[in-house]
Chains A and B, each alone.
Chain A
Amino acid sequence: MGSRACVSRGKGTMRILGALLLATISVGSLIAAEPDSLFAAGNAAYRDGDYQGAVEYYEAILLSGVESGALYYNLGTAQFKAGDLGRSVAQFYRALRDLPRDDDIRSNLAFAEARTVDRSLVRSELPPLQLLASVSDRLTLREWFVALEGIYLAFLALLAIFLYRPAWRQPVRDPLLFTTGLLLLVLLFAAHAHLERNGARRAVVLASEAYIYSGPGEQFTREFVLHEGTVIRIHRNSEDWVLCSVTEELKGWIPSQSIDRL
């Protein structure tokens, strides 16, 4: 009797657990289905030529708290079609973070940037920094850290062999040196990628014409003007103003509401 009661109690517990599991799976699938259905609705609106409607669907996904490279790509494309050049450039840059080797994103970004007025100005970093940025942009941040982790493990293994197996020192010496160099290089790229993507050091101008002042306020001198879609570098903030630069020479303060931080 006691054992039957025990079995019965065990079956009840299993049923409750099963129901809980089922509920968890159902809620999880609903949460997952919501962005998917919004994404599909956005795509349908885009297909029908309702670009503003597509933008609203895609932005609703962002409001639900999730993002993806494809989402930013579609949002940027729809915003461009709806006439919002500045925001579309910003979305294409965000899409590249998740899909850095996607040819469609790069193509649309180039297409949008070709329509910006200040396009030819934003190319003045030092060649080594340009190389660093271009290599760093080829992988996602996650990919950089996975690569870093793999190379680091290899480095540790080779180092341990070198230290504790004197007999293997000679054959291990060159691979260890190579791995050390590679590790430092990948560390540099990963650090650059991390700073660029999490440091909010870049932004895109949203206003069709944004004046750059010599100080954080409209009482200062208007030094030059930037146009919609121009990518700027952020240096520091002061209340509602941001110190930014386009090149080493072109540096000044811009209202923070005129830009979209990447």
Chain B
Amino acid sequence: MPSFYYRAVMLLMMFVGLVIPAASSAFEVSARIDRTVVDRDGRINLAVTVEGAGRGELEIDLGVPEQFQVYSAGTSQNISIVNGTFSSQRVYNYVISPREPGKYTIGPIVVRDKGETARSEALEIEVTDGGTTPLAQEGRKKTPRPSSDDTPEVFIRSSLDKKKAYVGEQVTLTFLLFHRIRFWSDPEYTPASSEGFWKEDLPPQNRYFEDVGGHRYRVTEIKTALFPTRPGRLVVGPIKLVYEQDRFRSGDPFAAFRRGGSPFRSGGRRVLETDSLSLEVLRLPTVGRPSGFSGTVGRFNFRASVDRKEVNANEPITITVVIEGEGNVKTASIPPLELSEIFKVYDSGTSTETSKKNYRLRGKKEHRRVIVPRFGGNYTLPALEFTYFDPQAERYVTLMSDPFRIQVEGPAFEEPVGKTEIARHESDLRYIKESPGSHWIPIGATTSIVPFILWNLAPLFLIGLVWGIRIGRKRLEGDAVQAKARRAGSITRKALSQAMKLTEDSTAREFSGALSNALTDYFQDRGDLPVSGMTRRELLRELKKRGFQPTLLSRIEEIVQKCDYGRFSEAEFSPDERKSLLREAEEIVWEAERAFREGKGP
């Protein structure tokens, strides 16, 4: 199942890779030959690479002089995904065979796709009169160039695109595997040892056909970018290849039997090895070397920017520096930023992107610094300077950014005057403590907060409780008027019951006095009125103020009159009259009690 998904994803990616370039109108053409000097009987392999063209047939005009014969050697297509970007590449292979010696120009090769045209650069070829012509460099001692008489089924070659290079300059190592047999399994490729180089693989592998010695070979091409890191004569290689021939699937089904062994087994392990290649690495010139040069080699663009130019003190500003171009951008040094102590500087990170288009390492390095101005004022940040060595022009190039002017709001920096400031040259963490302290604390020994709160609230609650009880008691005891008022009803009832005892044996004076005293005490206590010092009218007026109804007032007036009459005259009250008066007094007290509660009683 996973392989099914893998295939589906790859098909989808291929589809996307084929469709997306088709939608694009721009495409590029490059041409490459495997040698620039060839003898009259030799052959040159010409590879025309078209990148980004549509899916349809292309019209290709090679521009080969008529002194050459041209044979098509097949087409191959590569789809590659580098850093998430799809690219489609078609390679048209040709074999061109010269007829006459001389110097010739091939191309520029013109490719037309639906009305759009792209051209390659022209290629110079020298055709000599005879003798063998080297491919590019050494590397063929152990695997000599096969002749038409003795052409091995498998052979390998390696070459460098340069004999001399500067330190840090890209040198491309090309490995070619020629074979006209099937392999039992994928050959084991052991890359060249590359001590003294920074190495980058250059995908994709290129596959095409080539005729050598009258045989048609399948060729696999692997390229590697090498960046010398020190001057002197450096050695690349050897490159080793181990393969096993698939006897059963070779063109001759009886070959396995003739050579012995089983037809279902491989043809045995074979080892091929190229010679080591040598490269003269030149030291970078010291004459004219700028002081700010830090070893970056290639061809680059440089720019710097700030995210804002107006800030408040202690707010961050981000300075972004971008170095972009051809060369090993990973080793490019970011120019330093020297600022006064007014600024704090923090590195915020670096990101690097690389591409390997046309087998040249290119890239973009972006570095961000955060600076924090601590004081207000107008400042000019110094221009940043980036120097690299251009190996093609063989000179140093210095690029500079514009200085940045920034405005910072906030209190200005004041230089201390009069005395020499003692400055710390280096700062570090303070030293560790020699003693662990007075005690070790058990981890997690935290007590719950709830008992603490309850424990502390308890005394407050106790104080409040005692205070509340005390206040209540004080109110009860301290307020005589309230107490008397509360007790007035019961006292009066007692007084009236005592007066009842006087209904038969006592005189009218005694009875009236007892009744009058009971009523007087009642109004005095219940109403908090100084009844003994008041006239009857004053009492009635006061009771009226307390909300007594006129009927009740008239009844009070009447009974008071009768009591006065009994006390101060010789008149006698019969027992029935006395009982009637007592009943009336009780009813009046009852009604008065209700009037006091509803009215403005104390």
Q: What residues of chain A have their CB less than 8 Å away from a CB belonging to chain B? A: 32, 35-36, 39, 43, 46, 54, 62, 65-71, 73-74, 77-78, 80-81, 98-99, 104, 107-108, 111-112, 114-115, 117, 119-120, 145, 149, 152, 156, 159-160, 163-164, 194, 198
Contacts and interface: CB of A to CB of B under 8 A. Distances in A.
Contacts of B452: 145
B441 A104 contact: no
9 contacts: A66-B441, A68-B439, A73-B433, A77-B431, A77-B432, A104-B431, A108-B429, A145-B452, A159-B463
A36 to B, nearest CB: 6
Given A119-B346, A156-B460, A43 B315 contact: no
Nearest to B440: A66
Interface secondary structure of B, over-half rule: loop
Interface secondary structure of A, over-half rule: helix
Contacts of B431: 77, 104
B409 to A, nearest CB: 15
A74 B428 CA distance: 14
B372 interface: yes
B348 to A, nearest CB: 6
Contact of A70 (B344, B433, B442, B467): B433
A43 B434 contact: yes
A209 to B, nearest CB: 8
B212 interface: no
A98 to B, nearest CB: 7
Interface in B407-447: 427-437, 439-443, 446
B169 to A, nearest CB: 34
Contacts of B446: 198
A35 B440 contact: yes
A108 B431 CA distance: 9
Contacts of B433: 70, 73-74, 104
A108 B430 contact: yes
Using C-beta atoms within 8 Å of the partner chain, give the interface range for chain B: 20 to 34
A107 B424 CA distance: 15
Given A111-B427, A114-B344, A156-B463, A120 B315 contact: yes
A117 B429 contact: no
Nearest to B456: A152
Given A39-B436, A62-B443, A156-B459, A120 B429 contact: no
A68 B441 contact: yes
B17 to A, nearest CB: 27
Contacts of A78: 432
Given A68-B437, A70-B437, A80 B429 contact: yes
B346 A117 contact: yes
Contacts of A46: 432
Contact of B449 (A98, A99, A194): A194
A67 B430 contact: no
A70 B432 CA distance: 8
A164 B435 CA distance: 52
B432 A73 contact: yes
Given A67-B443, A70-B435, A152-B456, 7 more contacts: A35-B440, A65-B442, A66-B443, A77-B429, A78-B432, A99-B437, A164-B467
Contacts of A159: 460, 463
Interface string B115-141: 000000000000000000000000000
Nearest to A191: B449
Contacts of B435: 70
Contacts of A43: 432, 434
B429 A81 contact: yes
B430 A104 contact: yes
B267 interface: no
What 3 A-B pairs are tightest by C-beta distance, nearest first? Answer: A66-B440, A70-B433, A74-B432
Contacts of A115: 346
